[in-house]
Structure 1
Amino acid sequence: MEVEDRAQLCFPQFPNTSCRKPLSPWPQTLVINIMLYSISLITVTLNLLIIISISHFRQLHTPTNILLLSLAVSDFLIGLVPMPLEVLRKTSCWFFGDFVCATYTIVSTIITTSSIGDMVLISVDRYVAICDPLHYNNRITVNRVKLCVCLCWLCSVSYSCLNLLTQPGRYNSCYGECVFFYDPISFTVEFVLIFFLPVTVVIALYLRVFAVAVSQARAMRSHITAVTLQLSVTPKAKKSELKAARTLGVLVVVFLMCFCPYYSVSLAGDSLVSASSVSYVIFVFYCNSCLNPVIYALFYPWFRKAVKLIVTLQILQPGSCETNML
């Protein structure tokens, strides 16, 4: 009996301090792992296509697409690092030590907070494009957007590195697990800065965008746009901006649907929520990174065209970066 117990330990050489291996039927574990790792692979592949598309084709170097590029980089890194390691952390023993555990948590925080920042920037971009189109080209330039993206990532790194102050492995109850604990003050700060304020800003901006978009759509249908709005852009340009707002609105709604359950479960506390539920909402949040490219494929013809050129290796031809994508 003692031999069997030792066989179930993560570190049999430390029988008194080792964690026990997760016990579940191996066919079930195999199926779950294949499914989750497949989602991770799909996430990496699809977001890599977006990164190549926007980076390669010069016509796609617009302020809005720069924000989408930053979001795609975040999603790509989520599929590459947090998703597979989260599967490993929840389905098997953690053999990489406390330092790797802390590093993994910090990197995950950097990536996810930058994604949230990108969503806020996307909302601001659409707000200016729809609500103040006359000044959009002057206020939202490629260089300014690049600066904002860099500041977003810098703030994410700075905030996440504060987690280094927590001693790695301090809250582990045994060898073979990776646990990261937030004290009530740290969790409150994270909840306000990473959840409440960004979500409030995004919702407020998109409610305003939605109201103005509906107003513009009605004005265009009644053929009094020039009188009521006094805009110098053509109806076709307005239509494209409205379509972009709708597409990015879908992106934001899906993001909130995947994002809100995580903090709802976190607020409920460990005593009210099972460990399996926590793992589920974490992976739902990560799966948002796989859904974003699907949204692009459904709403952006340039993305479908770019994927075709990439898959057929036509981007390797001289001058392919000047291809007309719109």
Structure 2
Amino acid sequence: MKKFSLTLIAIFCSSVASFAQEFQGMAVYESKTSTAEFKARMDGNKDITPEMRKMMEERMKKMFEKTFILNFDKTSSIYKEEEKLEAPGQNAGRMRMMSSMMGGGGTYYKNVKEKTYTVDKEFMGKEFLIVDSLPKLKWKMTGETKKIGDYNCFKATAIKSVDASDFRNARLKKEGEAKKEGEAKKGEEVKKEEASKEKRGGFMMSEFDMPKEIEITAWYTPEIPINQGPEGYWGLPGLILEVNDGKTVIMCSKLVMNSKDKVEIKPSKNGKVVKQKEYDEIVTKKMEEMREQWQTQGGGNRNMIRMGH
């Protein structure tokens, strides 16, 4: 372990010395969230035709497989989903909302010197600007190493609290669990819920469990000695190139240092300023309202609920 520490210090010092006084880098990350549970549930649903399955899998691919760009300097970074042209349609707003809940949309700005972050989110037609303190993860160094591309990387783990508005780690309840909970409700309410579910042919929020915490595995390279990484990840003595975040894997596929084309790294200023907890409460409340509305109206109303001011 002592040999590992000395090696890490040597690499870190060597890398710092080789860096210019001012620099900027760009990293491309591929994010993929597991959809195994959803596909297994579709396999057990005889009402889903091959055409419906194909359409659902295409939508899941758009929501769960994304490409992000991280532009960074010594103290700050912006992390944003790669822009793609989307065909116009009546479900565009709903797809943007779902994309946001699955980690996409908006620009994630981190300032590791000030230990703050700012991210703009659009939810149900209303713009929010989340401004809060960066969560400080208690990283544990494992001593394991591997190469990612041309970079020597070291492994670290941590336990992270899950934001209530981030549904990437939502787990579909087993059918027995959902039935047991349903039996505990009032009879009439259960009938409405089952009827609504049958008419919609989809999943309800009551069918999901959200974990409170998840274990994070990160691989970082001290050859790029900055406190940065994708999304809200930071705090390691080198750029984070890979993160295993519960059901999501974020992997760096391209890295460019000191390009002639510089990017302005600054936070967004659009939207109603809220703390992360406030935003989580708004999202969960509106999702519950949607669930109740679908139950009451049998899934017939496909319009979005207007956000209050």
TM-score over 0.5 for the pair: no
What TM-score results when the alignment is normalised by the length of structure 2? 0.29
Determine which structure has the larger helix proportion and give its number.
1
Q: Please say which structure displays the higher CA radius of gyration.
A: 1
TM-score under structure 1 length normalisation: 0.28
